[in-house]
A and B are shown apart, each in its own frame.
Chain A
Amino acid sequence: MVEQQAAHMIHTLRRQWQHAMLVTRLLIALGVALVAGVLLYRVQGSLWWMLPIGAGSLLALLLPRRAWRIRLADAVRYLNTTIPAMEESSGLLLKPPHSLGLLEQLQVRRIAPVLQEMSLPRPYRRQLRTAAWFFVGAVAVSIALLQWRPPFPARYAPGRQGTEQAGRRPSLPPAIAAATITITPPAYTRKTPRSQQPLDLEVEEGAHLHWQLRTSRPLRSLQLLLNDSVRLPLQANAGDSTQWSGAYTVHRPGFYQVLLEGQASELYKLAVLKDRPPLITVQSPPSYTVIDYGQPQQVTVKVRLADDYGITAAGIQATVASGSGEAVKFKEQPLPFAAAFNGTRTQYALEKTIRLPVLGMQPGSELYFYVQAQDNHGQHSRSGVYMVVLPDTAQLMELEGLANSVTVKPEYFRSQRQIIIETEQLIRARDTLPEKTFKNRGNELGIDQRLLRLRYGRFLGEESETNIGDDRAEAEEEHDHDHDHDHAAETAGDARDFNNADKIIEQFSHRHDIAEDATFFDPETKRRLKAVLTEMWNAELHLRTFRPQEALPYEYKALRLLKDLQQRSRAYVAKTSIKTAPLKPEKRLSGELGKIIVPVAQHSYVQASAHLQQLGYALSVLETLQNGGAVTDPVSLQVLQQAAQQLSARATDAPARYLSSLQALRRVLAALQQQEAPLPADITTAAQTIYSLLPPPEPWPQADGRDTGIHLSQQYFMNLYQSPKE
């Protein structure tokens, strides 16, 4: 029995040893994982690295040499070496009794009670203790690492610090166990009410807010302080002073605080999403359209409308201006779109064709129109004004403009006008004329048109044709020549020209591109002239193919372009000034001035940069705090308070941008008032915002203060400086 118990003890020893070994390795691996994980957390910000590091180090400790496998032989060897009374024969205890020899049995009987009597040795104890200490040390080191902050916080990573600060969500104030805010968006948004737990709010303009707060203890009063100015008392539910509720309709952004029996909480954001007015995009027509003679008298308006919640109405407001000079008349009329607006859709693509004669437009009248739209919040918006012009062809025919102008070549215009008149005549007389005469006269008009084109073409340096097979054109050419050179008497058969070789060569030669002619006009004029020629080409084409009706639009357009060209060449000369009588200097300033009162002006300016100066002081106070200095004097506190007021005013307008720094500054102030050290992160946030608010300073002339007004120095100076007599 004794032998069996001893064998059992050896087994127990082995098992405990093995367990201790495992625990040791586990502790070491955990310690390594903890320290490495925390280090990586400081660098990368994630704690999940601990798992792979722990598993890896555990494997690394256990796998090699299979150290954790304690065999029975190890236990036996340990007993042999540590307990001399075992007489190097503990191994016998494990052998089955029947296999033992006589001597062995005797030995077993001798040593078994020894083992029985003494308590089981613990070879693993030291290792276990070391591992435990290592683990404790690792825990301590990692806690220290978590608490440790770099001596210069975020000096080189301002951005990261800022985002962390911004990303932090303010929690519920103490004593508030739960909060539910029901947001009822205004009707125009057609959104369903929603509710949220966080106290930071972002709501539509005009939304109705309903706070339901549950406090952890009964309170006497609970209020909301909006924008540091408006107090909104919350009502306790009947008989229960832990349930409070209150409602408010938001119209302007800002922030609010919860006042628990007069004690203010953190600041919470109250951002307002404004409804934008409808957006109108007119895709066609362009802002100025001219409808020439012969073109279809209609305009297609293509519009895109967009709004964030819905459009209730849209239309075109058209104004027709007709007549000219003082007799101009305006007629306004709204033109509806075909689509139905019920305020549900947010996007519209609309098209509307305006027929100009239906609006009562005649040649010479103009159409102004704009598109307007209304969203379901009642906000209007309108597009720019678009203009459609029907030119008056009759006005082009008037001579008045020509008579006054410094015209270049009046007869050219007359020619074009003449062609139009004759074309119209021809159209009117078409029914009465025989077919052949009609065609003949059409062809002749075409030739006239061509001659005109050739004349203008010469100014562009085009080839100057001499009228092939048309003696009428020859005569015309000569006539034109006379005009140009102002040699009225000169004719082709003049005797004085008998020996004129140039003239004879000219008669028989075919001259191309006269380079001189090509330099008459600037490129812009030439471009316009070319456009005229194109129209003339088209007119000629239709006239020569006996379709005068179709030629007429081109003739009109050519005339209009010519007129433009003519207007363009006019110059404006300002009136010269009047002459004044010369001044008599001896009479100057000799009048009686006794009754002239002395003008005295006195102004006081409000110094615009005073508030910036306060912020500048606050910045320096915060900097002192950041570098570990103590700020205890009341002046510095006052400076910080004034800065907080300025920040508060800005946070009302843009809570998303300034609220976090306002909160930070208030925490700094609160800490200072309680004689505590404020958090470095708060100081950094506040200082950053104040720095961004301050504009780069400008140089101003200043008084220097150096001299100490010492009598000795002054005496010395006065002796050196001898006042020169003037």
Chain B
Amino acid sequence: MGGHYIAIAACVVLLAFLCRKETRRPNKARLWARLPATVIAVAGLLFLMAPFPWRRQVSATGNGTGPTKTSVRPSGVQAIYWQQQLNAGAMLHLQGRYRNSAATPVKLLLTGFNERLDSVIIPPGQQQSFELKTRPRHIGRAVYTFTVLAKDTLAMEPVPVEVRPLRSLKVLMLAASPDFEHKFLARWLAAQGYVVAIRTAISRDKYSYTYLDTARFPLQRITAAILPAFDVVVADAAALAALSSSERATLQAQVAEKGLGLVIKADSSMMRRRFYDRPFILSAAGNREAHPQSITVLPAGTVGTLPAVQPLYVRSAPGLQPLVQDGAQHWLAATALHGAGRLVCTTLGNTYAWVLAGREEAYQSVWSLLLQSAARVRQQAAQWHIGTAWPQVRRPVPVSLQTSLPQPAAVVNTARVSLSQGAMLPFQWQGVYWPLQAGWQATALPAGDTCWWYAYAEKDWQPLSARAQKQVQHRGMAATASESRAAIPRIWFFIMFLLGAVFLWVEEKLV
């Protein structure tokens, strides 16, 4: 800032000197034009020299959500991210970047429940990405601690995490013949309290029905009355092929319009004629001998091996996402979108061997992925969104809500928050809440689930949270006038100076 004042002072002195010279000139002709020209020239010179104070605002006016660039980067956490809401059983990944400009290594530590959960060491004088992992064992809200340790504690930051309780699936299985694969899958799901109904063809128009953790209901025909109750249908290709055309149409409508998931256990009979097998092109491997096949779950990694005889592969195609691969990156399971729902095609037919061998974790990881990728997305009455990554105490926190309710009345920690309806999207509602205390904040509609979010104390996660806070403020300011003024390029000031100076020079010559 000092430079600005020196430049302004110098220009004022220069202006005074020049004006005095102009007025003292014996020839008083065109004095009224010479004085403004002097002022214009000096002003142009000043603006050329001194940067405007509002120029900084221009660089900081971003869209707030993306990563921001700052030139000065002190030692410390440069960026951090973790998922605040996790499903039960999911892994908590704390990912970020740390710059250690000190001469000693720094240890980053994730602790919770008085246990050291994970740690990583950043060598001196380096900037590194890091990832700390743990599987939360609690259900509900908890605050873990992220600690930076050198010789003493450099920083200790809260890592709030909410673990949602297990929301079980309802699974319908259609089998063309009794087999172990269905039996083990059903038993595995039912033991965890999942609702499973199985229809197994045992002869011509004869079915065996099994209902696990549910009451009996007619399953003779697959109708539009049955399917909405389920989240996923697991069927082998032969069972799907044996469905009547009306049943198939019902199933397709459910998948495409209502988002029902369909897991197809493929065999070589799939002809790519039906809606469910059209996206998937299968090819059989040349290897006719039994050999162990390593199974890789994406993105988690290799989970184990299975014996395979001439396995089927799903060929890579646009619109497909691989889920399970073998060691040579052949796809063994893939998913495709079909309308609102998802299709999963798997060629694995003997995963039950893992259960028999006591390798439950491999079985679990494969089938969790397959069913999870297919499962229907449940509808919620309201969905909350917190407008900033670092909600801070005693700062405005934008809160937005998506709901189809006509007049939502939001309550945050017993305080009522008035919401304004979005002009473009009538189901979007916005409001601002000022948290009074750091910690978990409960946001809810009078009737509906509570959404919890965490308000950080001012000292938490500096300087990341301060940067984010600045963005929030500037987002508000961005709409004001500064932008148009800031857009003036320097050339105009130069032209201004040139015009003034040229006029004065020419005027002297005119005499």
Q: Which residues of A contact B (CB under 8 A)?
A: 152, 154-156, 158, 161, 589, 593, 596, 598-605, 607-610, 613, 616-617, 619-621, 623-624, 627-629, 684, 687-688, 691, 694-713, 717-718, 721, 723-724, 726
Contact with A along B71-90 (1 / 0, CB 8 A): 00000000000000001111
Contacts of B106-124 to chain A: CB distance below 8 A = 111-115
Contact with A along B188-207 (1 / 0, CB 8 A): 00111100000000111111
One of A155, A589, A605, A718 near B111 (C-beta < 8 A)? A155
The answer for the CA separation of A718 and B253 in the assembled complex, in Å, is 12
B141 to chain A minimum Cβ distance, whole angstroms, is: 6
**8 A-B pairs in the complex with CB atoms less than 8 angstroms apart:** A158-B114, A616-B163, A619-B137, A624-B142, A701-B369, A707-B377, A708-B380, A710-B403
In the bound complex, residues from chain B placing their C-beta under 8 Å from that of A619 are: 113, 137-140, 142
Max chain A C-beta neighbours (<10 A), residue from B142, B206, B364: B142
B213 contacts the other chain (CB 8 A)? yes
One of A605, A705, A711 near B167 (C-beta < 8 A)? A705
One of A608, A613, A700, A708 near B381 (C-beta < 8 A)? A708
B249 contacts the other chain (CB 8 A)? yes
B45 contacts the other chain (CB 8 A)? no
In the bound complex, residues from chain B placing their C-beta under 8 Å from that of A620 are: 138-142, 163
A495 to chain B minimum Cβ distance, whole angstroms, is: 59
One of B137, B142, B190, B252 near A605 (C-beta < 8 A)? B190
One of A154, A704, A721 near B378 (C-beta < 8 A)? A704
Q: Are A624 and B115 in contact (CB under 8 A)?
A: no
One of A598, A613, A684, A694 near B208 (C-beta < 8 A)? A598
Q: Are A593 and B256 in contact (CB under 8 A)?
A: no
Q: Are A701 and B372 in contact (CB under 8 A)?
A: yes
B236 contacts the other chain (CB 8 A)? no
The answer for the CA separation of A673 and B212 in the assembled complex, in Å, is 41
Give 9 closest A-B pairs by Cβ, nearest first: A620-B140, A701-B371, A616-B139, A619-B138, A709-B379, A607-B193, A158-B114, A623-B142, A694-B137
Contacts of B140-171 to chain A: CB distance below 8 A = 140-143, 145, 156, 163, 165-169
In the bound complex, residues from chain A placing their C-beta under 8 Å from that of B381 are: 708-709
One of B209, B212, B259, B377 near A600 (C-beta < 8 A)? B209
Q: Are A691 and B88 in contact (CB under 8 A)?
A: no
Q: Are B383 and A700 in contact (CB under 8 A)?
A: no
The answer for the CA separation of A156 and B209 in the assembled complex, in Å, is 56
In the bound complex, residues from chain B placing their C-beta under 8 Å from that of A723 are: 252-253, 256-257, 339
B510 to chain A minimum Cβ distance, whole angstroms, is: 71
A661 to chain B minimum Cβ distance, whole angstroms, is: 12
Known A603-B190, A724-B275; contact A616-B256, beta-carbon cutoff 8 A: no
B367 contacts the other chain (CB 8 A)? yes
Question: Chain B: which residue is nearest A696 at the CB level?
Answer: B135
The answer for the CA separation of A354 and B236 in the assembled complex, in Å, is 69
Q: Are A613 and B404 in contact (CB under 8 A)?
A: no
In the bound complex, residues from chain A placing their C-beta under 8 Å from that of B47 are: none
B485 to chain A minimum Cβ distance, whole angstroms, is: 39
B181 to chain A minimum Cβ distance, whole angstroms, is: 16
Q: Are A602 and B211 in contact (CB under 8 A)?
A: yes
The answer for the CA separation of A609 and B165 in the assembled complex, in Å, is 12
Number of interface residues of B (CB under 8 A): 84
The answer for the CA separation of A593 and B201 in the assembled complex, in Å, is 13
One of B135, B205, B249, B404 near A709 (C-beta < 8 A)? B404
Question: Chain B: which residue is nearest A617 at the CB level?
Answer: B139
Contacts of B344-369 to chain A: CB distance below 8 A = 361, 364-365, 367-369
Q: Are A616 and B137 in contact (CB under 8 A)?
A: yes
Q: Are B145 and A691 in contact (CB under 8 A)?
A: no
Contacts of B236-275 to chain A: CB distance below 8 A = 245, 248-249, 252-253, 256-257, 259, 274-275
A218 to chain B minimum Cβ distance, whole angstroms, is: 45
Known A620-B142, A704-B375, A705-B379; contact A726-B206, beta-carbon cutoff 8 A: no
Question: Chain B: which residue is nearest A609 at the CB level?
Answer: B192
The answer for the CA separation of A708 and B166 in the assembled complex, in Å, is 20
Q: Are B207 and A598 in contact (CB under 8 A)?
A: yes
In the bound complex, residues from chain B placing their C-beta under 8 Å from that of A610 are: 193
Q: Are B210 and A602 in contact (CB under 8 A)?
A: yes
B376 to chain A minimum Cβ distance, whole angstroms, is: 7
B216 contacts the other chain (CB 8 A)? yes
One of A158, A589, A605 near B193 (C-beta < 8 A)? A605
Question: Chain A: which residue is nearest B383 at the CB level?
Answer: A708
The answer for the CA separation of A724 and B140 in the assembled complex, in Å, is 43
One of B166, B206, B209 near A613 (C-beta < 8 A)? B166
Q: Are B89 and A699 in contact (CB under 8 A)?
A: yes
The answer for the CA separation of A596 and B203 in the assembled complex, in Å, is 10
In the bound complex, residues from chain A placing their C-beta under 8 Å from that of B231 are: 703
One of A152, A609, A698, A717 near B145 (C-beta < 8 A)? A152
One of A593, A596, A684, A700 near B114 (C-beta < 8 A)? A684
In the bound complex, residues from chain A placing their C-beta under 8 Å from that of B210 are: 600-603
Question: Chain A: which residue is nearest B300 at the CB level?
Answer: A699
The answer for the CA separation of A161 and B114 in the assembled complex, in Å, is 10
B382 contacts the other chain (CB 8 A)? yes
Question: Chain B: which residue is nearest A706 at the CB level?
Answer: B377
One of B89, B205, B275 near A697 (C-beta < 8 A)? B89
The answer for the CA separation of A607 and B439 in the assembled complex, in Å, is 34
The answer for the CA separation of A712 and B421 in the assembled complex, in Å, is 15
In the bound complex, residues from chain A placing their C-beta under 8 Å from that of B503 are: none
Known A598-B206, A706-B377; contact A700-B137, beta-carbon cutoff 8 A: no
Q: Are A603 and B379 in contact (CB under 8 A)?
A: no
Q: Are A706 and B380 in contact (CB under 8 A)?
A: yes
Known A620-B140, A621-B140, A721-B256; contact A703-B364, beta-carbon cutoff 8 A: no
In the bound complex, residues from chain B placing their C-beta under 8 Å from that of A608 are: 191-192
B309 to chain A minimum Cβ distance, whole angstroms, is: 20
The answer for the CA separation of A600 and B210 in the assembled complex, in Å, is 6
Question: Chain B: which residue is nearest A723 at the CB level?
Answer: B256
In the bound complex, residues from chain A placing their C-beta under 8 Å from that of B433 are: none
Q: Are A593 and B206 in contact (CB under 8 A)?
A: yes
In the bound complex, residues from chain B placing their C-beta under 8 Å from that of A721 are: 256, 339-340
One of B114, B141, B257, B361 near A688 (C-beta < 8 A)? B114
Question: Chain B: which residue is nearest A597 at the CB level?
Answer: B206
B494 contacts the other chain (CB 8 A)? no
In the bound complex, residues from chain A placing their C-beta under 8 Å from that of B136 are: 697
Q: Are B213 and A701 in contact (CB under 8 A)?
A: no
The answer for the CA separation of A610 and B88 in the assembled complex, in Å, is 13
In the bound complex, residues from chain B placing their C-beta under 8 Å from that of A589 are: 203-204
The answer for the CA separation of A130 and B342 in the assembled complex, in Å, is 83
In the bound complex, residues from chain A placing their C-beta under 8 Å from that of B212 are: 602-605
B440 contacts the other chain (CB 8 A)? yes
In the bound complex, residues from chain A placing their C-beta under 8 Å from that of B253 are: 723
In the bound complex, residues from chain A placing their C-beta under 8 Å from that of B113 are: 619, 623, 687-688, 691
Max chain A C-beta neighbours (<10 A), residue from B113, B169, B404: B113
B364 to chain A minimum Cβ distance, whole angstroms, is: 6
Q: Are B135 and A697 in contact (CB under 8 A)?
A: yes
Q: Are A708 and B403 in contact (CB under 8 A)?
A: yes
Known A605-B190, A607-B192, A621-B140; contact A703-B426, beta-carbon cutoff 8 A: no
A638 to chain B minimum Cβ distance, whole angstroms, is: 13
The answer for the CA separation of A712 and B167 in the assembled complex, in Å, is 27
Q: Are B209 and A599 in contact (CB under 8 A)?
A: yes
Contacts of B413-451 to chain A: CB distance below 8 A = 425-427, 439-440
B38 contacts the other chain (CB 8 A)? no
In the bound complex, residues from chain A placing their C-beta under 8 Å from that of B439 are: 627-629
Question: Chain B: which residue is nearest A700 at the CB level?
Answer: B89
Known A701-B372, A703-B168; contact A593-B205, beta-carbon cutoff 8 A: yes
In the bound complex, residues from chain A placing their C-beta under 8 Å from that of B469 are: none
B402 contacts the other chain (CB 8 A)? yes
The answer for the CA separation of A347 and B70 in the assembled complex, in Å, is 79
The answer for the CA separation of A586 and B328 in the assembled complex, in Å, is 42
B285 to chain A minimum Cβ distance, whole angstroms, is: 28
The answer for the CA separation of A704 and B168 in the assembled complex, in Å, is 10
In the bound complex, residues from chain B placing their C-beta under 8 Å from that of A617 are: 138-140
Known A152-B156, A701-B372, A702-B375; contact A708-B139, beta-carbon cutoff 8 A: no
